Structure 1
Amino acid sequence: MTRADGRSGDATVPAPSRDELGDRVLTVPNALSVLRLLGVPLFLWLLLGPQADGWAVVVLMVSGVTDWADGKLARALGQSSRLGALLDPAADRLYIVATLVAFVLRDVVPLWIVAALVAREVVLGVVLLVLRRAGWPPLQVHYLGKAATFILLYAFPLLLLAAGTGWLAPVVAPLAYALTVWGSALYLLAGVLYVVQAVGLLRQGRTA
């Protein structure tokens, strides 16, 4: 299990409390996470309002870069914080859910892909509630989950281009669909790992 400070830990060890992290709010990684959060409504408006796909792609690309950068900067600058541990996965999930909703409304991706990924979020939401009731803190972001999110955030712009009518659409379509399948598979696998970790923690709690 990956800790919020970037260090690895055993899946059977209790998840580190966010109280162990710093209280700082005004940090560079937190500013990047807030920037990504602010981009969610802008991205939805661009897709569903004027359907400015080019600018929507730019927003997604900026989100992908900041998603990678905030974690690196948090470790490099020693600016890991409780707020950052909450904002980073929240921004990731909001972008993915918002993108999937917009893509379904515009018939960019099949409904079954969206149903599978949204079901994953629902299951993890239930798992987090069960852990909280048992006295455990939320599971920290797993490296596989971050990798899957990174792939999806780059697959989505390519899907937009593939859904277009220009000469670029048939060129990027194979890569777009490959990244979507790969990213979705890893995203679901990461969800399974989170559930396995949660079951291990709950069993450990009962044994104790």
Structure 2
Amino acid sequence: MDPVAGRPGGPQEVWATAQLAITYRRQVGRDELPESFVYDSDRLELHFGQGVFGAVTQKMRDYQVSGQNVLDGWLKRRTGPPSRRAISQLDHIRPERWLPAWSEELQYALSVLWHLVELQSAQNELLDRVLMSPLVSVAELQRRNVLPVPDNAQRSAPAPPQTDPIPGTEGFEGREPHAVRPLTVEKSSPADAPTRPRRSRNPSAAQSSRGKRQDP
């Protein structure tokens, strides 16, 4: 968050600063679920059934990550057939119409694509500078006493103190533990208890009694 640099706090403020402004110009029909986009390069519009989103540049429409088109993948995950990795019957339950929340999600995705396209030239320049920079060799790290790693640096980090809660668990650490009653074994009545011969702890006594039973 840096309002001076044009990065205000909060997701809504971030989307408001996106240029070009992505607008939802015409709604997608409630009873339709098109399976492909139609791009109008003259109007800079992305048509999805009856719906129209803009402004969308050609670079935004063609943007890829690891060889996969981002917009096509976004749409396929929502309207296409279930994945080959589907193992549950729930994975085969697919929507039959366009969901209103998807319109807002698509605006967000288009805004992100616009920023990525704008940063592409700067990212390429940074990558070239990194590749052209000298490499740090193992010998140089040894000369600077970075390697070998000392024993005190190989030890695991100490556990965080209890006063610092794990992010996302605020409010849970300070709760009182639930009152859990100890597990008790229900006592059976003497009439229900099976009768078993009691063993003698004296081995000689056990042997003598065993010998007596063998006498005729």
Q: TM-score range by the shorter chain?
A: under 0.3
The normalised TM-score by structure 1 is 0.27
The structure whose residues are more often strand, as a share, is 2
Larger gyration radius, structure 1 or structure 2: 2
The structure whose residues are more often helix, as a share, is 1
Could you say which structure has the greater relative contact order, defined with CA pairs below 8 angstroms and 6 or more residues apart?
A: 1
